[in-house]
Amino acid sequence: MPTPKRRRCFRGSFGSRIDGVIPECGGALEAPVSSGGLLVGDFAQQSSSLGSIRWLQVQSAPDLDLHSQLKELIPEQQSMASNVVVETLFSICSLSLFQERLKKLKSDHGKVQLGNITADMVIGGMRGMTGLLWETSLLDPDEGIRFRGLSIPECQKLLPGAKAGGEPLPEGLLWLLLTGKVPNKEQADGLSAELCNRAKIPDHVFKAIDALPVAAHPMTQFATGVMALQVDSEFQKAYEKGMPKAKFWEPTYEDSMNLIARLPTVASYVYRRQISFFFLFLSLYMLTLLIFGDLVAFYFIRKKNICGLPYVCCGILFRIYKDGGIIPPDNSLDYAANFSHMLGFDDPKMLELMRLYVTIHSDHEGGNVSAHTAHLVGSALSDPYLSFAAALNGLAGPLHGLANQEVLLWIESLVKEVGEDITTDQLKDYVWKTLKSGKVVPGYGHGVLRKTDPRYTCQREFALKHLPDDPLFKLVSKLYEVVPPILTELGKVKNPWPNVDAHSGVLLKYFGLSEARYFTVLFGVSRSIGIGSQLIWDRALGLPLERPKSVTMDWLESYCKKAA
Ligand code: AMX
C-alpha cells in the first residue's frame, strides 16, 4: 500500500508536541478546498473548554478507504502497551496516540477533580456533571455543537457536497467523525458507494415491521426494524466465537457501518406503509359504498364502525402512504438523496435539505438521552444494533427527539385555531395558553445550550434561501420573536431560545413530507452516524462498563447533614 501523504499535528494538554511535522499549527480555516488529497484545510481544532487537546484537521489521504484509515488509526495491540515494539508503534500511529493519551491521562491525572458533584446534580438529572468520554463531538453552551472541532458553518464550508457550494454530504461527516479528518469528494463518494453495497435488508426485517399495526407509532416500527436487523450482528457472532478485546472495534465497525447503511431503507419502509387517516377514511367510504351502497356507507361512517372487512380491505388497498409502494434505492445517489428518493421525494431542493438535515442531527456530544443510552448499553458489550435500538427508544421521548413531531403538531393546531394570518398578540396568547395548560413549548429550551441552537440557525438560513415566503416559515420566524421573552418571563427556564426541533418540521412539510409523527424517524437515521462512530471508538479505546453510583434519599439527606 502506498504511503499516504498526510500531515498531522497533535498537542498534548501541556502544549508539548506529541507527533507531527507541521510547525505552524495554527493554520488557516479559509484554506480553499481542493480535491486530490493534499492538505486542504489545516486548522487548529477548537480546544475543549477543559483545554484538553488541540488536533489539526487534515484532509485524508486519497489512497485509503475508510476502513483502511481506521485500521491504520487503531492498532491491534491496545492492551499490550508495555511491549517496546508496540510503544514504538504508538509513537507513529495516531490512534495509538489516543490510546496512549488515555492511559497517560488515567495514570498521570486520574485523581484531578473536574468539578464538584452537588446534591442538586444528583437530583437534577446530572446536569453539568462531567462524566463521559465522547470523542466525536463537543457541545458548547453558547456556541453549539462542534463535530471533531468543526462548527456547523465550518462543516458546510469544508465537507464535500453533492455539488460545489451545496450542503455537506453526511458521508463526509461520517468520515470526519470517525477519523477526525476532512475527506475529499472522492472519498465521500467512495463511502456513498460502500454504504449502498452494505444496504441489503433481510426479508425478516420487513416481516417484523409488518407484524405491527400500521397505526403503531413510526418510532416503534423503526426500533422494531433495528432489532430485527440485529440478527445479522457481526459483533455478536465474533464475541460468541471468542476474540481478543483489541479486536472488538472491527466487528463493531462492521455492524455500525451496516446499520448506518441499512437504516434509510428500513425507515422509508416504515414511512411508505404509514396510513394517512384521511385516505383510510376515504377508502373506507368508497369501498363500503361499492359493496353496500350509499346508505350503508353513511351508517358505517356515522357509527365509526371501521373494524372488520372494510378496514382490512382498505388496509390492503391503502396501507401504503402516497400509494407509491416501496421505492427501491437508486444507488447512483448519495446517502441522504437516496433516503429522500426512497421516501418518495426527488425535488433537488429536498435532496439538499435531507443532506443538511442528516448532517446536523447526527451527533450532539454524549450526554443527551439517545447518545448516552447507546454508550451505556454498548458499554455492556451489547452490539451496535442493540445499543442503537435502545437509543431510539430514548429519542422517541417528547422532551428529546419527539419534539420535532410536537412542534409541527403544535404549529398546525395554532393555525387551525387562529389561521395563518396571526397577530403577535394572538401568538402570545397561544404560547401562554400552552404554558398554562401545563405543557412545554416544544422546540424551545435545552439541557446544555444557552443560546439559539446553530442547528436552528442553519435551517433558518436554508429557509431564507429556498422558501422565504412560506407562511409556516414566517410563523416560525414570528415565534422566534415571541417565545423567548415569554419563557424568560416564566423565570425558571434556563434557555429560552429555540433548538433544532423548532425548525425542521416546517421545512419538511414545505417539500411534502408532512406526517409529523414520522419526523423522529428521520432524526433517528441521522443519529446513527454519531452513535455508530462513537461506538467504534468506545471499543477501540477499550472503554469500560459504565456503572455510576446511585444513592437513596436517606443516604443523601444524612450525607448532606453531616457535610453541612
Ligand atoms: N417550555 C416550558 N417550560 C420549559 C421549557 C419550555 N420550552 N423549557 C424548560 N422549561 C421548564 C422546565 O420544564 C423546568 O420546569 P420545572 O422546574 O417546573 O420542571 C424549568 O423550565 C427548568 O428547565 P431547564 O433547566 O431550563 O431545562 P431542562 O434541562 O430541565 O430541560 C428541555 C431541557 C429540552 C427538556 C426543556 O427545555 C423542554 O422541555 N423543552 C421543550 C421540549 C423540546 O424542545 N425538547 C427538544 C430538545 C432538543 C432535543 O433533544 N431534540
Q: At residue 424, does pLDDT exceed 90?
A: yes
Chain centroid to Cα 358, Å, comes to 7
From 361, 372, 375, 400, the catalytic residue = 400
User: Is the Cβ–Cβ distance between 170 and 335 less than 8 Å?
Assistant: yes
Alpha carbon of 216 to ligand 1 centroid (Å) = 27
Whose Cα sits closest to atom 13 in ligand 1? 440
Residue 11's pLDDT is what? 30
DSSP assignment letter at 36? S
**Are the C-beta atoms of 483 and 422 separated by less than 8 Å?**
no
Q: Residue 521 and residue 267: Cα distance in Å, rounded?
A: 7
**Coarse DSSP helix, strand, coil percentages of the chain, rounded to the nearest 5 percent:** 55, 5, 40
C-alpha cell at 501: 426541533
Q: State the cell numbers at 147.
A: 463535530
Name beta bridge partners: 182. 59
From the list 41, 37, 35, the residue with the least C-alpha distance to 22 is 41
CA proximity to 508, closest of 366, 368, 343, 383: 343
| Residue 175 burial by Cβ neighbours in a 10 Å radius (0-12, 13-18, 19+) | buried
Q: Which residues have CB under 8 Å from 248's CB, separation 6+?
A: 235, 381, 539, 540, 542
Q: Judge whether residue 16 has pLDDT over 80.
A: no
333: Cβ below 6 Å to ligand 1? no
Which run of H or E residues covers position 293?
A: none
User: In whole angstroms, what is the distance from residue 54 CA to residue 37 CA?
Assistant: 22
Nearest to 496 by CA among 475, 473, 479: 479
Considering only 26-30, 145-149, 509-513, which range has the smallest mean pLDDT? 26-30
Q: Which three cell numbers stand for residue 488?
A: 424568560
Q: What is the per-residue pLDDT for 59?
A: 55
With beta carbons less than 8 A apart as the criterion, state whether 315 and 327 touch.
no
**Residues 335-356 pLDDT 10s:** 999 999 999 999 999 999 999 9
Q: Where residue 514 falls among pLDDT bands split at 50, 70, 90?
A: very high
**Domain annotation for the chain: domains and CATH numbers:** 12-73+134-275+319-542 (1.10.580.10), 77-112 (no CATH)
Task: Tell me the C-alpha to C-alpha distance, in Å, between residue 471 and each of 146, 302, 378.
Answer: 32, 35, 44
pTM: 0.82
Among residues 232, 334, 363, 501, the one annotated as catalytic is 501
**Average pLDDT of 370-375?**
98
Of all protein residues, whose CA lies closest to atom 47 belonging to ligand 1? 400
User: From ligand 1's centre to the CA of 211, what distance in Å?
Assistant: 36
CA–CA separation, 172 and 459 (whole Å): 19
State pLDDT tens for residues 32-54.
Answer: 333 333 223 333 333 333 333 33
| pLDDT tens track for 461-473 | 999 999 999 999 9
